[in-house]
A and B are shown apart, each in its own frame.
Chain A
């Protein structure tokens, strides 16, 4: 299992969290998505490496902005 942390701006409530989760879960290989609202972070667990562009597109589709990936 691979875990990556991403910065996502604009999530302010539980609904924001569920919209972002929903979109990221559609990416192939993703097994879990956890949102840390307090720190504007999304923790994504997957069974393969994810392309940053795919994660960015998913976050954008939900209406939010990916600010970066933590290593």
Chain B
């Protein structure tokens, strides 16, 4: 498992998000055990105004498995300061025959062994049909070149 002090911030975030989801889908391991690999026991996570504790995270594993939700993440930027990380990323999720694009702004703190113990995130569903998204993509691409 990657840790904050030895890994590039962007790579840390990509690895963390990707491997959590992959582990859920790949293994039949107990949901509690998987969650404990990625989150400290006293995790305090606020997601879109909803407080999520360990039990909520565990309960969320079953639907991910059942729906075979796969996801790909693109981290746009990530900044580390001690045990803190701030990141902006986009999740591309495939679930129940639908493709969802979710933009996330995240602040979090991680234990030395790479588990999240505090997190705050705001998410936004990106309407992929909207022009705003299409032109946003185009603008990003031209910036990059």
Q: Is B a genuine binding partner of A? A: yes
Which residues of A are interface residues toward B (Cβ below 8 A)? Answer: 9-10, 12-16, 19, 22, 37-38, 62-65
CB of A51 to closest CB in B, whole Å: 22
Contacts A/B (CB < 8 Å), 15 sampled? A10-B59, A12-B56, A12-B59, A13-B47, A13-B50, A13-B60, A14-B125, A15-B100, A22-B96, A37-B50, A63-B62, A63-B64, A63-B65, A63-B67, A65-B62
The answer for the CA separation of A38 and B48 in the assembled complex, in Å, is: 11
The answer for the CA separation of A22 and B100 in the assembled complex, in Å, is: 16
Contact B56 A64 (CB under 8 A): no
Would A12 and B62 be within 8 Å (CB), given that A19-B96, A63-B67 are in contact? no
Closest to B56 in A: A12
Closest to A16 in B: B63
Q: Of B56, B63, B100, B123, which one neighbours A62 at CB under 8 angstroms?
A: B63
Which residues of B are interface residues toward A (Cβ below 8 A)? Answer: 47-48, 50, 52, 56-57, 59-60, 62-67, 93, 95-96, 100, 123, 125
A-B CB pair tally, cutoff 8 Å: 45
Q: Of A10, A22, A38, A62, which one neighbours B60 at CB under 8 angstroms?
A: A10
Most buried by B among A10, A16, A19, A37: A10
Would A64 and B47 be within 8 Å (CB), given that A12-B56, A14-B125, A15-B95 are in contact? no
CB of A60 to closest CB in B, whole Å: 8
Q: Of B48, B50, B66, which one neighbours A63 at CB under 8 angstroms?
A: B66
Most buried by B among A15, A62, A65: A15
CB of A38 to closest CB in B, whole Å: 7
CB of B35 to closest CB in A, whole Å: 12
Contact A12 B50 (CB under 8 A): yes
Contact B63 A14 (CB under 8 A): no
6 nearest CB pairs, A to B: A63-B63, A63-B66, A10-B59, A12-B60, A63-B67, A12-B56
